[in-house]
């Protein structure tokens, strides 16, 4: 699943390409990918343009006219692919090379007045598009905790969040109600950098460990954004460039490989419903 750094990279790159360009055609190839009234969805999109692209956590927010907003969530396998006559540039879930568009995974197609096209592809159909007004958007935003790079996310916030909690720290970090945008990759990486095992009870962390974890969460997200996210294959981000953070991963995706710190094998377990990577020697 694309996480905060990948979705932020998509937001920035599409903002440089499609803002203010009139949408001349809309194709709902898989109407079930659109939540709510399909006719109303088409009415709000056709003839309009995106004034701004915002984001909260992993949710993209395309600002339309007249107080309406298009929400796009990529979920597990969603992709946004922008195509012109000169280029074809995918962003989102790493899914191999895109050779033909539209294809069997294409769910929605936006055509623009400059002949560009934006494809929403989703192999497993968990992603969605939805039109909301300002009131509904405000309610949705209330369901998200602070993001790692926001000022309110700090050691003091994390200390209060962890106090007395008996669930494991990995599960808590993945809960978007508590922290927005942090996902499986970067939770594993931050916990490794902080020297904390992912199965530790959240309430068991010391004040020193809590401060260290808050710092490492901020650090890993900031670094991942600067490297345009993580790429595991030949897939590109929304400018056609590979995400460069993959080479900096310390534990994620490195099961049975040697830990860069101690030389022992990285372990992978199932935790909080997700494959979880850690070093049993460097993390306590």
The model's confidence at residue 37, banded by pLDDT at 50, 70 and 90, is very high
Active site residue 146: no
- pLDDT confidence band for 89 (50 / 70 / 90): confident
Alpha helices in the chain (DSSP H): 4-15, 38-45, 134-141, 155-162, 169-174, 184-194, 207-226
The stretch 12-28 carries a mean pLDDT of: 96
Over pLDDT 90: what percentage of the chain? 83
> Strands 34-35, 128-133: parallel, antiparallel or unpaired by DSSP?
parallel
Of residues 11, 58, 197, 228, which has the active-site annotation?
A: 58
Task: Quote the CA–CA distance of 218 and 242 in Å, as a whole number.
Answer: 22
- Catalytic, 5? Answer no
Is 50 exceeded by the pLDDT of residue 258? yes
Active site residue 117: no
| Domains in the chain: ranges and CATH | 4-141 (3.20.190.10), 155-278 (1.10.8.50)
Residue 3 appears among annotated catalytic residues: yes
Owner of token pair 């401060």:
211
Average pLDDT on 37-63 reads 97
Write down the pLDDT at residue 233: 40
The answer, yes or no, to whether the previous bond of 102 is cis (omega within 30 of 0) is: yes
Give the pLDDT confidence of 126-163 residue by residue, as tens digits.
Answer: 999 999 999 999 999 999 999 999 999 999 999 999 99
Q: How many CB atoms lie within 10 A of CB 151?
A: 7
Helix (H, G, I), strand (E, B) or coil at 217: helix
User: Rounded to an integer, what distance in angstroms lies between the CA atom of residue 136 and that of residue 93?
Assistant: 27
Question: Which residues are within 8 A (CB) of 48 and not within 5 positions of it... i.e. 6 or more apart?
Answer: 22, 23, 64, 65
């Amino acid at each position: 699943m694309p996480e905060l750094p990948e979705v932020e990279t998509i937001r920035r790159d599409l903002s440089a390409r499609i803002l203010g360009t009139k949408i001349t055609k809309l194709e709902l190839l898989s109407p079930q990918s659109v939540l709510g009234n399909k006719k109303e969805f088409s009415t709000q999109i056709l003839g309009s343009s995106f004034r701004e692209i915002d984001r909260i956590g992993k949710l993209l927010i395309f600002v339309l006219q007249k107080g309406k907003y298009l929400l796009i969530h990529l979920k597990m396998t969603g992709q946004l692919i922008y195509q012109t006559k000169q280029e074809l540039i995918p962003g989102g879930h790493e899914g191999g090379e895109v050779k033909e568009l539209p294809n069997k995974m294409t769910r929605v197609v936006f055509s623009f007045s400059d002949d560009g096209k934006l494809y929403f592809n989703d192999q497993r159909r968990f992603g969605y598009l939805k039109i909301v007004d300002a009131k509904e958007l405000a309610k949705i935003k209330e369901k998200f905790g602070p993001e790692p790079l926001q000022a309110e996310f700090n050691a003091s916030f994390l200390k209060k969040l962890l106090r007395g909690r008996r669930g494991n720290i990995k599960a808590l970090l993945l809960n978007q109600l508590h922290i927005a945008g942090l996902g499986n990759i970067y939770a594993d990486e931050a916990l490794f950098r902080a020297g904390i095992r992912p199965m530790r009870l959240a309430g068991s962390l010391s004040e020193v460990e809590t401060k260290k974890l808050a710092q490492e969460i901020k650090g890993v997200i900031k670094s991942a954004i600067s490297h345009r996210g993580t790429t595991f294959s030949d897939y590109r981000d929304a400018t056609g460039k590979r995400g460069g953070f993959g080479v900096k991963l310390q534990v994620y995706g490195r099961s049975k490989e040697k830990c860069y710190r101690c030389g022992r094998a990285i372990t992978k377990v199932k935790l909080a419903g997700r494959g979880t990577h850690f070093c049993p020697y460097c993390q306590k």
